[in-house]
Amino acid sequence: MKPFVPLLAALALAFAAQGDAQAFAKESTSHAVHAKAKAKSKAANTAKAKPAKGKNKPAAKGKAAARVLPAAAAAAVIDYDGEHMNFLEWQPVQAFIDEMVAQRGFARAELEAVFGKVRFVDSAVQLVKPAPPGKPKNWQAYSERFIEPIRVNAGVRFWNENAEALARAEAAYGVPAEIIVGIIGVETIYGRDTGRFRVVDTLATLAFAYPETPNQEARKAFFRSELANTLMLARERGGDPLDLLGSFAGAVGMPQFMPGNILKYGVDFDGDGGIDLRGSSADAIGSVANFLVQHGWNAEHRGPAVFAADVSPNRAWEDLLGRGLEATLRPEELQAAGVMLETSLPAGRLYGLVDLQNGADPTEYWVANDNFFAITKYNRSYFYAMSVIELGRAVKLSRST
């Protein structure tokens, strides 16, 4: 399984700071995004998104956008603002507006006013490109980026400051505080790095100018959907869609929800009448817990989500690997295949065999229950889910000492 880093954590490594649809967006943001962001000419950027009316390139106005420097540069420069480009000249944009008017009841003039202000963000295009082949996957190296003193100490402060909301979420949803703390810490270091891109800009750029990849059409369709969700969210809240800030792939707030997930899973957990994932820790906490429950978290399965395992030399257990992000195996199936644990698994539940590769070092094997796999719906990665668990555990331990 390809490991992915949370959106803002990827940016953090790139420029010294920066999870259903949540996971879908993150599938395009591997941990090495910062290393493959390259400088592109304006002509190359716009050639892939041909406008209507027979023009080969939309006219760009204003100052030229700063470019993302090659990885070898001393410091990466991220263009958050982008450059003005007349998206209204692009035929796919006009088709999108037609659809929003006909199906969602928007006024054409309102949408044209928004798209008249949208900017093309080349750095978003560069950052979503697949990372080039690199070193073998290494769980230990990956985890060291998240289970480290700065994040653990910030987690302790976050837990102490939000103990009431965390306890209330655990009681209401059955998701332990340490799991919620782990997710918010991995995603944004507890709100420290929630994103500086205008969400409408990045989503429009990726919806209509996604780079050439084998899954380009599926990705463009996803980002068009999230662009529509952003406009719906702004209309629902009575705000300006251009005011919403987030990551380079459009994720928002402390828990990095895509706009569609805010609409589906966002919770007004502080009871102030609105959902604010950027400014309200309580709303972020309640929304994360709600997301996990809606994606399979089972409150009845108390105790660890993963169990350390050894595997027998006969390698019959290999057939149990790669079975997706679901718990499908009975304890007796694991035992028959040579998967050995120090403790007996609770009966009547299903599990999965998880492999965490460590480069040239031995692979770690774990048996995971459905709560582990619920975390993978936030970000489709074993590495991610395990880092959430380990960070939450480290924060809990540090808080108790």
Look at residue 29 in the predicted model and tell me its pLDDT: 39
Identity at 148, one-letter amino acid code: E
- How far apart CA 8 and CA 127 sit, in angstroms, is 11
Domain segments of the chain as ranges: 7-132+196-246, 306-368
Picking from 94, 144, 132, 129, the residue whose alpha carbon sits closest to that of residue 115 is 94
pLDDT at 248 over 70: yes
Picking from 43, 10, 51, the residue whose alpha carbon sits closest to that of residue 29 is 10
Annotated catalytic residue, options 83, 170, 187, 226: 187
Higher pLDDT, 77 or 47: 77
For residues 262-290, give the mean pLDDT.
97
- How far apart CA 390 and CA 339 sit, in angstroms, is 22
Picking from 95, 85, 75, 160, the residue whose alpha carbon sits closest to that of residue 118 is 85
Q: How many residues does the chain have?
A: 401
Look at residue 212 in the predicted model and tell me its pLDDT: 94
Q: How confident is the model at residue 361 (pLDDT cuts 50, 70, 90)?
A: very high
- The pair of structure tokens assigned to 325 is 């992000």
Higher pLDDT, 272 or 7: 272
Look at residue 302 in the predicted model and tell me its pLDDT: 86
Let me know: does 14 contact 248? Beta carbons within 8 Å.
no
Look at residue 362 in the predicted model and tell me its pLDDT: 95
pLDDT at 45 over 90: no
- What angle do the packed helices 177-188 and 7-15 form, to 10 degrees? 40
Look at residue 76 in the predicted model and tell me its pLDDT: 57
pLDDT at 324 over 70: yes
Look at residue 133 in the predicted model and tell me its pLDDT: 80
pLDDT at 2 over 90: no
E-strand spans in 63-140? Answer: 83-85, 119-120
Look at residue 130 in the predicted model and tell me its pLDDT: 86
Find the range with the poorest average confidence among 5-14, 156-165, 248-257, 381-390.
5-14
- How far apart CA 218 and CA 368 sit, in angstroms, is 30
Specify the residue for token string 């809990």. 396
Cα dihedral across residues 268, 270, 276, 278: positive or negative: negative
Look at residue 18 in the predicted model and tell me its pLDDT: 34
Look at residue 131 in the predicted model and tell me its pLDDT: 80
Task: Give me the chain's average pLDDT, please.
Answer: 85
Look at residue 258 in the predicted model and tell me its pLDDT: 98
- How far apart CA 375 and CA 76 sit, in angstroms, is 31
- The pair of structure tokens assigned to 29 is 């943001």
187 is catalytic: yes
pLDDT at 59 over 60: no
pLDDT at 225 over 80: yes
Helices (H), 16-90: 21-26, 42-47
Backbone φ, ψ for residue 247 (5° rounding): -80, 180
Fold type of domain 7-132+196-246: Helicase, Ruva Protein; domain 3 (1.10.8)
Which residues have CB under 8 Å from 309's CB, separation 6+?
Answer: 334, 339, 340, 341, 353, 365, 366, 367
pLDDT in tens, 281-293: 999 999 999 999 9
> Is the pTM higher than 0.75?
yes
pLDDT in tens, 137-176: 999 999 999 999 999 999 999 999 999 999 999 999 999 9
Q: Is 344 exposed, middle or buried (0-12, 13-18, 19+ CB in 10 A)?
A: exposed
Higher pLDDT, 57 or 380: 380
Backbone φ, ψ for residue 337 (5° rounding): -85, 0
Which residues have CB under 8 Å from 70's CB, separation 6+?
Answer: 37, 38, 39
pLDDT at 201 over 90: yes
Sheet containing strand 83-85, strands side by side: 60-61, 83-85, 119-120
- What angle do the packed helices 149-161 and 163-173 form, to 10 degrees? 80
Other Cβ atoms closer than 10 A to 330: 15
pLDDT at 62 over 60: no
Q: How confident is the model at residue 98 (pLDDT cuts 50, 70, 90)?
A: very high
Alpha-carbon distance values, 302 to 90, 271, 285, 357 (Å) = 53, 28, 19, 27
Share of the chain above pLDDT 70, in %: 81
For residues 348-353, give the mean pLDDT.
94
